[in-house]
Amino acid sequence: MTDATANLAGDTAAPAYDSTAKQKAQAKTSRIPIKVIPIEKLKKPEWIRVRTATGNSRFNEIKQILREHKLHTVCEEASCPNIGECFGKGTATFMIMGDKCTRRCPFCDVGHGRPDPLDPDEPMNLARTIGALKLKYVVITSVDRDDLRDGGAAHFVECIRNVREHSRETRIEILTPDFRGRLDRAINILTAAPPDVMNHNLETVPRLYKEARPGSDYHHSLKLLRDFKALHPEVATKSGLMVGLGETEEEILQVIRDLRTHDVDMLTIGQYLQPSEHHLPVRAYVHPDTFKMYEEEAYKMGFTHAAVGAMVRSSYHADVQAHEAGVV
């Protein structure tokens, strides 16, 4: 299959490759090993509803503060459908280490490209922003940085330290990449300043990894969660899944079992929504009854908290999730 075949818009050729530019949509997904094959677009059911920002929300204020401090959010970069609601309430998930990821996951709308050097001022800028917003709970995530010897673990530590120095009451959740090829080093570095919640998303079932998470490994991600928990049993661990990519119910249940056997405490499951026509297609809209079944099974298995529903995302209402799990 040629790159143009994967273009749902027709026979337009893929843009010329520029490794220094941030590649989005077709420019990003046209170079993955398993090409995106278009299918007939499914109609969204009535239970898929996105809340928008209200007139008196903090949406514009949040965006202005982020720009002033030269910060990125995964809310914006990944085109999260909940951005209006979250920004409107004064919450955001901060994305550190730039806005260009070294991976090309075709479900994700974060741009791919050769990353810029780390900004040494970012930890302080992050801490000042969190202080300005008076946030009591924050989620810090990042792009994959396969170009760094530690995968960016030391930068996570600096961000955690700066936030705690300036906002002592703020609880911190980190949503990390998989630190491929440098796992032991990264985990040892993170022990210098462990977060309140350690989150790493499995995203999908192992059968779909080559298609959905090229460059990642299911068992490696499980090991990350287990090894961190072994070093820090007092820190809650968390992981998230998408549904609607072609997985079966039994496959999802098996992933939930795997997470519990690797001592993961908290779980999120949400409906995958296609960011653009050049990303992986939605193969099914999961019914609310099925989400309810996953939630019930998760609690039976011993998770301290399970946020399961169509519009649930890993960081969506993360403060509420942590509170209900007994973290804050």
Q: Which domains does the chain have, with CATH numbers?
A: 51-324 (3.20.20.70)
**What confidence category does residue 314 fall into, taking pLDDT thresholds of 50, 70 and 90?**
confident
Q: How many CB atoms lie within 10 A of CB 46?
A: 6
For 211-241, write each residue's pLDDT tens digit. Answer: 999 989 999 999 999 999 999 999 999 999 9
**Does 159 carry a binding-site annotation?**
no
141-158 mean pLDDT: 96
pTM score, whole prediction: 0.85
Q: What would the mean pLDDT of 168-174 be, rounded to a whole number?
A: 94
pLDDT band for position 90 (50/70/90)?
low
Q: Nearest CA to 246 among 110, 106, 109, 143?
A: 106
Task: Confirm whether residue 315 is marked as ligand binding.
Answer: yes
Closest CA to 265 of 307, 217, 219: 307
Tens digits of residue pLDDT in 53-78: 555 566 667 777 777 777 777 556 55
Residue 101 assigned ligand-binding role? yes
For 178, residues 6+ apart whose C-beta sits below 8 A from its C-beta are: 144, 200, 216, 217, 220, 221, 224
Tell me: is residue 221 an annotated ligand-binding position.
no
More confident residue, 326 or 294: 294
CA-to-CA distance for 6 and 45, rounded, in angstroms? Answer: 26
Q: How many CA atoms lie within 13 A of 286 on its CB side?
A: 27
